[in-house]
Copies of this chain bind each other. A is one copy, B any other.
Amino acid sequence: MSDTSERPLRADAARNRARLLDVATQVFTTRGVGVPTEEIARSAGVGVGTLFRHFPTKEALLEAVMVRRLEDIAARTERLAAGSAPGEAFAACFRLVVEQSVGKNEFAQALAAAGVDVHASLRGPTEQIQTRLAGLLAGAQRSGAVRPDLELAEFLALLAGTSRALEQLGPDPEPRERIFQVVFDGLRPR
């Protein structure tokens, strides 16, 4: 679903591309988008030239990282949304998106700063996810699990905010869980 109709890519080339994406994801997430391309290439065990062959621009690499992430989230939410009661599906997807979104904000900013309709390639997966989330929200509201006055935009803002809150907390699960408690309690109809 990622490469739209391009020749299959040789085995080693595909491996390099994947390694670059992995390394870039890791590095960008933990150390920010300012990390030099050269270092990413070296960490992936390839030369800069290889990086730029696969991703003609640093921005393109950023985009690819984001796309992969979004596609992953889309696929997972689909699975989650399938077999559960509306309220539980809603909660499960909320958790999933929040956990997967950590560190994602800076990417978006960097991409947006780069210029025009940066979302060109992101629009697809983004809309897919938003559509699914809209469905989940509506279902949860119909079933009485979530306050009916909440709009989609607010729901998305809460996802981003919750993700941000968790970013600040350490890995200790108890405080993280309490954040979820607060948000979920607040989402219930009064």
Q: Which residues of A contact B (CB under 8 A)?
A: 31-32, 34, 105-106, 109, 113, 147, 149-151, 153-154, 156-158, 160-169, 175, 178-179, 181-188, 190
Contacts and interface: CB of A to CB of B under 8 A. Distances in A.
A167 B160 CA distance: 10
A interface, over-half SS: helix
Contacts of A158: 165, 179, 182
Nearest to A105: B164
Contacts of A161: 161-166, 168, 179
A143 to B, nearest CB: 18
A147 B186 CA distance: 12
A165 B160 contact: yes
A109 B32 contact: yes
A184 to B, nearest CB: 7
Nearest to A189: B185
